Structure 1
């Protein structure tokens, strides 16, 4: 088949995909008989873009711009007419989708197939999720918007402005590196929080607790432990939520470590997997034990984990731990003092000590096995802390279940000590 015919066929297929999703979305909102751009229109737009790209390449470069400008003018005139008839505003989603669909056809002719497929898929998803996106945004609070703006400030405003050089005693403070760690940890927590806010409690206790653990496993443990005392009948459900949230600490740390040192992350996969065995076993057992129960449990009321105050606190904690590690290295006591420091730091924050250790490993101050052992010790301490929270704040049944699993998790970390070579 001629290459032009192949390009037209592919363009028609991608345009039809976008138009089908658009038509399905509009049918749910508009009354029968209403006019809107659907499958046929988007298919023709994509083919038009492909043919215009061919004519621009073969005859005159002005063909494609003229065709795009003509379609754009027709859409603008139609929008003005609709606005005057209904005395309301007309959204620009159809306009943007039309322009992108035409450009998809042009990209297909120019053999940028991957870009054309990506643009088509993205456009289709955004068109199809129209109603759900509107429902999501209606549920956002002022705190959610402030958190989003603060995340933008943390990543896009502050990070490019801080200096990238070592400062202070022992050259322990690098503003850029410190704030980069803030961006990484804040981003992981904020992702979990946003996902939980979007999905809501209807996603189920297990999923929401996993996402809550990604945002803040300590806060999730506190929330469900306190709730177990208020509603002890659902203690087993709350115990599963606590265990699931705390189990997210392990993969979250591995993801953060893999960004800076993959070898260290790989060394910790087996020990962390051993630590996760009690949680997995408990989850499977509880799943079968409560299959016939009809109780429902809502998601915990977690505050947005991202704020400038939280970011500054983490930066200060990370700086303090990094300073202690650098000082210990300068005084030649790092090999003997790192593990106690890791245990104490793990009681307060797992992320700060992990990133400090990986920084020392990358600079050659400590060997790989010592770095892995230090992070493992911090994980054990963190599990013991959360076990203590369940014992002090939870109901008796939650103490037996969640507290017992977290103790076994810490013991799994002790067993994983010998897996770090």
Structure 2
């Protein structure tokens, strides 16, 4: 038996969920001269009705009352839909929202308060981002959909059937097919999410935003694009420097996320120098942002970061970096490990980051050495992208970019070396 206080709480949550969803519907479609089938009060009553129907069903120990309420309100929604359709207003969004509201109200009564509230919030958010989702759908291409299907295939079909063990002697013992492909799925997923974000927001939303979202996909692409563009539009070199620095800063955050997901003990060592470089980049980004604002668009043509060919190439690169790092550590000691990290960082910081995380997780490489190797790789990658910007960018771009490069490298390497002393 539900106590009175608890009962009031559950039905109150059902009422609040309906009011929240109805408020969004009223805001989106209400107003003078506009008629909607249900506003904030009606939706609040729908949520309450769902909770009451669930309560009556419990009291009678029969689902008939709940099913009957759903049927009656479903019939109401059906009639409302046909009325709107006759007016030329074709759409099922509000009607489906009514069903969700009733169901969430019932779940609130049954005690699933957290889940019911989460459903109410998610529903409201989905209803509120219509423009963004419509733009995303319009911007999708056949290749994007095919790439998403490929990502689903390698995640749900190929990965589970790969053997989760190594079959070769050292240094080839690091080549575990399952773990290698798992890293492919992980990195592809991050890049694909960044690409989807650009599709939703649109690359034209601003130079700074493009730099941020582009950093999730490819900070090198952002560097190349804005460096080349600075020669055609030298007056915008400072905003271009902002976008490039933002992309580099996102790269540091991305490294920390990768390490944290793979092996958290390593994150405890590597986060200080990486975060220090990222913090310097963030402070410099704020300085560039407030010193010269611009409404200029930041168009960059980002290709879809995922296709099967790209995934296979990254898998091979990751396996090669794993093998080279293991062999260098076996035959050349720590010097070989650090040298391979610097060289690998020139090509791809993700591969060496994941490799060091995996090697430290399996005990092949000590945690302090793996941490320093990751720092050297990120600094190497930053230096290379900085060199690209300095070589390809305009004269006006070089000064702010050079300062960003020097500050990130000095702080990152200096912090890493200082930190190593105390390990």
TM-score using structure 1 length: 0.89
Q: What's 1:64 paired with? A: 66
Instruction: Indicate if the aligned counterparts of 1:237 and 1:297 stay in contact, CA closer than 8 A.
Output: no
* Conservation of the 8 A alpha-carbon contact between 1:25 and 1:130: no
Q: Distance in 2 between matches of 1:413 and 1:78?
A: 62
CA pair 39-405 structure 1, distance change in 2 beyond 3 A: closer
> Counterpart in 1 of 2:309?
309
CA contact (8 A) 1:360 1:366 kept: yes
Q: Secondary structure of the residue that 1:387 maps to in structure 2?
A: helix
Deviations 1:182-231 (A, max 9, x none): 12112222222222232224543222201111210111111111111122
**Aligned position for 2:208:** 206
Q: Deviations over 1:370-410 (max 9, x none)?
A: 01111111112111111221122111222222134213322
Whole-angstrom CA distance in 2 between matches of 1:35 and 1:284: 45
Count of equivalent residues: 414
- After superposing the two structures, state which structure 1 stretch, 243-252 or 303-312, moved more: 303-312
Give the deviation of 1:150 after TM superposition: 3.1
After TM superposition, the structure 1 stretch with the greater mean CA deviation from structure 2, 249-258 or 260-269, is: 260-269
The separation in 2 between residues aligned to 1:22 and 1:120, in whole angstroms, is 13
Q: Show the counterpart of 2:222.
A: 220
Query: How far 1:2 moved relative to its partner?
Result: 5.4
Q: Report what 2:105 is aligned to.
A: 105
Residue 353 of structure 1 is matched in structure 2 by 352
1:371: which partner in 2?
A: 370
The one of 192, 195, 200 aligned to 2:194: 192
1:140 matched to which residue of 2? 140
Contact kept, 8 Å, 1:279 with 1:405, in 2: the verdict is yes
2:263 is the alignment partner of 1:264: no
Match of 1:9 in 2: 12
Deviation of the 1:317 alpha carbon: 0.2
Deviations 1:273-307 (A, max 9, x none): 3323553453344334325xx56242322222222
Q: Does the C-alpha gap of structure 1 residues 6 and 216 become closer, same or farther in structure 2, counting only changes over 3 Å? A: closer
Q: Give 1:3 shift.
A: 4.4
Note the residue ranges of structure 1 that are not aligned, 5 or more in a row: none
**Cα deviations by residue, 1:247-289 (Å, 9 ceiling, x for unpaired):** 2111100000001112211212221233235534533443343
Match of 1:40 in 2: 41
Q: Is the 8 A contact 1:181 1:355 kept in 2?
A: yes
Q: For residue 356 of structure 1, report the CA deviation from its aligned partner.
A: 0.8
* 2:239 alignment partner in structure 1: 237
- The counterpart of 2:252, out of the listed 241, 250, 253, is 250
Assess, with a 3 A threshold, how the Cα gap between structure 1 residues 413 and 160 changes in structure 2: closer, same or farther: same
TM-score, normalised via structure 2 length: 0.89
**Superposed CA RMSD:** 2.5
Please give the residue correspondences for 1:282-293 in structure 2 after superposition, counting only pairs within 5 Å. 282-290=284-292
CA distance in 2, matches of 1:211, 1:131: 19
Question: 1:248 aligns to what SS in structure 2?
Answer: helix
Write out per-residue CA displacement over residues 12-67 of structure 1, whole angstroms, 9 at most, x where no aligned residue. Answer: 22212211212222227xx8253422223322221211111111111132221232
